[in-house]
Structure 1
């Protein structure tokens, strides 16, 4: 039954996340919210909702390694796995006046975790600092929108406000059930095979909660909308650290295992810097670079088992 829970949880997160984003975009359009804010808040938070529900549920239930591994692993998977797959589907053309700002915030959010993790414990104060950073970023983004792409084009919106609300409610329900199934199945499988909960969180759970990002970016790639694909990844990584991890720490204290500070967080910072360098110095992320990113993810998964 643990494998049934695991698969059911992954399926629930995928469809629940897509339904939530679809409905949220529809509501945002009806309210005439600017495209930039739709991308940063609606799509960013929408595709990160699985991470939030899984991390809070795991922390509440006394499995902090899955709560932390989910966030760190999701950010690593977003860059190496999802950007890699997206580049394979269609080479990513880099553009956007706000790219430098957004990648800077993504790297800064990763780096700020170093002193927090060094304390060995994340409490409400750490959570407040992270969430305050997210609020500051959103204000900065609102005041300097640049030429942000309309990310809401990645997913079609429902035809009416009622449909949008129903999509949001249905998506949240499916996400909550999926998150519970995924945590239950993952924890039991990890304990049954003697695999660390941290490794399960960093890989299976992290990839599972990143399914909405994967769906959004691949849809964007098939539609040749590189800005949406990259904006979705960068925005989600910012929300994962500042928003999701911050909110989780505010709700319940999280002990930080040594491996996150010594191995996984440095990897997350390194791949964030690699993505930033690629976006700011190259006109395009081609298929060969996509293969290299996927190989990097495979190497990380193999190394993470140790």
Structure 2
């Protein structure tokens, strides 16, 4: 098949996998409400669904013996996703009316009363005038700081020469790390539990989502294999700059939907929960089959930029207007600039 056709197959596979993962998010959101978790803490849980396509792709790439695709996708998606999601959330919050409030008030236990809705809308209008994407302050210490701890653990397990690469024991450690990450988010982000009802249709959609996720992940990996072979590039490069970018694109639509609904904090910070799952749960299938690191410079530069992007995310939230947490326009551009710097470093120094 011509490369153009395989490129189309890759895009379709990524969107199918994302659709399947999205169908898993609804039951997880219900669990979040049932357990009484705030939107920030719930982001760590819902991140399992958000990262479902990455988990599926890594599993399929490990099964097919092309683990470099999964490794490249894992690193590349964790770099591009943060500026992509923050930029999307900022743009949506500036250009569209939000249907229920803003990031500041998501976790306040809103009961939907008219007076409270008016206050929420007034708050959003103020932030719009200030060019501020308001983010709940818990996003840093509940999600970002522990995520940086996860990245440090990945570096310790995979960078030193005696243990370089992904090995089964590393997968066990990272799986345990995610359980700790999830536990601390739950403990530090509790609210009042809600009564929720489960419908048969929801269960059916969840099953359909799992099937679509598997099919989409398989198609994505196969298409990437064909494209990298046709272009004559390594599978790791293909995973970094083809699979990672394509699999991140569906997140634009998901972020737009969540932010437009008024869940600004959840829509913006869920990317950190997603990335935490990618570096822990999605790490496991690659570690099980063992992945050596042949191009160490390419690996450590990418892992470094994964950490830089995450650190910038947390730092910039705190550098906004006095008394506020979030992203002003210059901060969004600064985050985008980090990704541009990454591309320059890869193109002119690493490759």
What's the counterpart of residue 225 of structure 1?
A: 263
2-structure distance, mates of 1:23, 1:147: 18
2:79 to 71, 76, 81: 76
What's the counterpart of residue 124 of structure 2?
A: none
1:130-149 → structure 2 map (5 Å cutoff): 130-145=174-189
1:21-100 → structure 2 map (5 Å cutoff): 21-26=25-30, 28=31, 32-36=34-38, 38-41=42-45, 43-90=46-93, 91-97=132-138, 99-100=140-141
Contact 1:89 1:221 in 2 (8 A): yes
What's the counterpart of residue 20 of structure 1?
A: 24
Contact 2:316 2:331 in 1 (8 A): no
Structure 1 runs of 4+ off > 6 angstroms?
none
Alpha-carbon distance change, 95 to 4 in structure 1, aligned in 2, over 3 angstroms: closer
Secondary structure of 2:35 counterpart: coil
Q: Structure 1: 5+ residue runs without aligned partners?
A: none
2-structure distance, mates of 1:172, 1:108: 30
What's the counterpart of residue 269 of structure 1?
A: 307
2-structure distance, mates of 1:275, 1:39: 15
Q: Deviations over 1:180-234 (max 9, x none)?
A: 1111111111111112222221122123333454333222222342211233112
What's the counterpart of residue 108 of structure 1?
A: 149
The alignment's TM-score, normalised by the length of structure 1, stands at 0.85
What's the counterpart of residue 202 of structure 1?
A: 240
What's the counterpart of residue 287 of structure 1?
A: 329
Q: Deviations over 1:239-285 (max 9, x none)?
A: 1112211x224532122231443311111111111111112332331
Answer with 180-189 or 214-223: which moved more. Answer: 214-223
2:290 to 228, 235, 253: 253
2-structure distance, mates of 1:295, 1:111: 23
Q: Structure 2: 5+ residue runs without aligned partners?
A: 94-131
Alpha-carbon distance change, 24 to 147 in structure 1, aligned in 2, over 3 angstroms: closer
Displacement of 1:235 in angstroms is: 1.0
The alignment's TM-score, normalised by the length of structure 2, stands at 0.75
1-structure distance, mates of 2:257, 2:215: 25
Displacement of 1:135 in angstroms is: 1.2
Q: Deviations over 1:48-75 (max 9, x none)?
A: 1100010111122222221111111111
2-structure distance, mates of 1:169, 1:302: 42
Answer with 286-295 or 177-186: which moved more. Answer: 286-295
Secondary structure of 1:198 counterpart: helix
1-structure distance, mates of 2:242, 2:139: 32
1-structure distance, mates of 2:329, 2:65: 41
Aligned residue pairs total: 295
What's the counterpart of residue 202 of structure 2?
A: 164
Aligned-residue CA RMSD (Å): 2.7
What's the counterpart of residue 106 of structure 2?
A: none
1:189 to 217, 224, 227: 227
What's the counterpart of residue 6 of structure 1?
A: 10
2-structure distance, mates of 1:256, 1:223: 43
Contact 1:18 1:212 in 2 (8 A): no
Displacement of 1:17 in angstroms is: 2.1
2-structure distance, mates of 1:248, 1:198: 16
Secondary structure of 1:92 counterpart: strand
Contact 1:9 1:181 in 2 (8 A): yes
Question: Which protein has the larger Cα radius of gyration, Structure 1 or Structure 2?
Answer: 2
Contact 2:309 2:335 in 1 (8 A): no
